[in-house]
Structure 1
Amino acid sequence: MNKSVARLGIGGPVGSGKTALLECLVPMLTQQGIEVAVVTNDLLTTEDADRLKSKGFLASERIIGVETGSCPHTAIREDPTMNLLAVQDLELLYPQLDLIFIESGGDNLASTFSYDLVDAYIFVIDVGAGDDIPRKNGPGFVQADLVVINKIDIAPYVGADLDLIRQQAPQHRRGKPIIYTNCKTGEGLETVKDFILATLLFESVEENR
């Protein structure tokens, strides 16, 4: 299948805030006139797709839920056929699309995307999982085009050392970008949006502010 619409993967462990990140980013992008659609992956339900549809910021037809029936990483890395078909359906329905988000079901630190499916991918972790996550060198964390370290506001309440994370994460990312976010306050989200504009849509950040 030819890639005619930019595709961005959103992966990461269960509870890291992937869907919450989408709930913030999609309205930010659509407010700038960017045409967006979303494909979500869940094991045996369409829970994430239903949650996004309930927010009302996209027409429900622009959100497709894929039931993988197996480990989520299979559907985004080893055999992305179901996701490719969902993408194809969206492209046929909405030829004006600029960007399709593909959200993985919750997975572990080994979760990565096939570049046959996406042009780039974001890996989301949250500080509640512990300040040792960067040191574990998971392929998703190390290889992703962007890492989002989410829920930075809860660090004091879960015993996570945010300063340690900020010190060690760049060492293991080897120069690849990292953004620290709080979806409740919006901290860091503009920077994530700027990454999307520059990396996938090739738009000037300054022109879109």
Structure 2
Amino acid sequence: MSAEPERALRVGIAGPVGTGKSSLAAALCGALSDELRLGVVTNDIYTDEDARFLRSQGVLAPERIVAVQTGCCPHTAIRDDVSENLLAVETLEAAEGPLDIVFVESGGDNLTATFSPALADTQIFVLDCAGGDDVPRKGGPGVERADLLVINKIDIAPLVGASVERMVSDANDRREGRPTFPTSLRAPDDVVRVADWVRGELARHRAGELVPADPGPMAPHVHAADDHHHDHEHSHAHTH
């Protein structure tokens, strides 16, 4: 049997602005903190607003929540040069450890945002219904190859004219069997479902079975055009 890892499981949480990354991190900390030793590293460009929000929720001791101010596009700090985030994670573990899980929350970014496997052992990508129910069909590395895709705020889908069924179906068409969870963080059962998935990843980490996959920074994909039945390739690059 493999020896238990010497460091915490690192769970990356990424997604566009406003999809509920901080709220998901808070909900997971609330669901898991009684049984596991947790820490959080947040990323903002110029502020520590996400860290202050999490501290205000009272889900962890304030010293377990650390802010990184990237001063650059969020994906740079979670993928291209992860040194500042790695230092934050390692410093947090040294000061507060041993820890079981460190959640690393990216700043709001676009559909190409993914974590370097040197930073995150497993990755959650968060979309929301208010962003449009066509977003999963547009794809991108975060949507297609994150270990878990959370489609958040399903409770407001009727108010914004979004089809949750369409979003889940389009996501599943792209994700090659990786899980997609339609979620409302106001629904306790939905939070439990995501927390159970995190527990499963922790068990795999402790057993030495979790090997971080690299989703790729700007992976192109091919799909059939609806009208012309031919394949074409493109990458979903977005401006900031």
From 22, 25, 28, the counterpart of 1:25: 28
Secondary structure of the residue aligned to 2:203 is coil
Q: Secondary structure at the match of 1:34?
A: coil
Deviation at 1:82, TM superposition (A): 0.6
Give the alignment partner of residue 6 of structure 1, picking from 4, 9, 30: 9
Cα displacement (A) at 1:45: 0.2
Q: What letter is aligned with 2:140?
A: G
User: How many equivalent pairs are there?
Assistant: 201
Structure 1 or 2, whichever has the larger Rg, is 2
C-alpha separation between the residues in 2 aligned to 1:3 and 1:113? 21
CA deviation profile, 1:8-52 (whole Å, cap 9, x unmatched): 000000000001111111011012x20000000001000000111
Write out aligned runs for 1:1-209 (5 A). 4-31=7-34, 33-202=35-204
Residue 226 of structure 2 is matched in structure 1 by none
RMSD of aligned Cα (Å): 1.4
Which SS does the other structure have where 1:40 is aligned?
A: strand
Q: Over residues 34-87 of structure 1, what are the superposed CA-to-partner deviations in whole Å (9 max), with x where a residue is unaligned?
A: 000000000100000011111222111110000000000000000011100101
Distance in structure 1 (CA, Å) of the matches to 2:12 and 2:132: 23
What is the Cα deviation at residue 188 of structure 1? Answer: 1.7
Any gaps of 5 or more consecutive residues in structure 1? 204-209
Q: 3-state DSSP class of the match of 1:123?
A: strand
Give the % identical residues.
49
- Structure 1 stretch displaced more, 22-31 or 42-51: 22-31
Amino acid paired to 2:182 = Y
Displacement of 1:112:
0.3
Give the Cα separation in 2 of the matches to 1:134 and 1:52: 28
CA–CA separation in structure 1 for the residues paired with 2:95 and 2:71:
25
- Note if contact 2:133-2:164 (Cα within 8 Å) is conserved in structure 1: yes
Which amino acid in 2 is paired with 1:146? L
- Structure 1 runs of 4+ aligned residues shifted over 4 Å read none
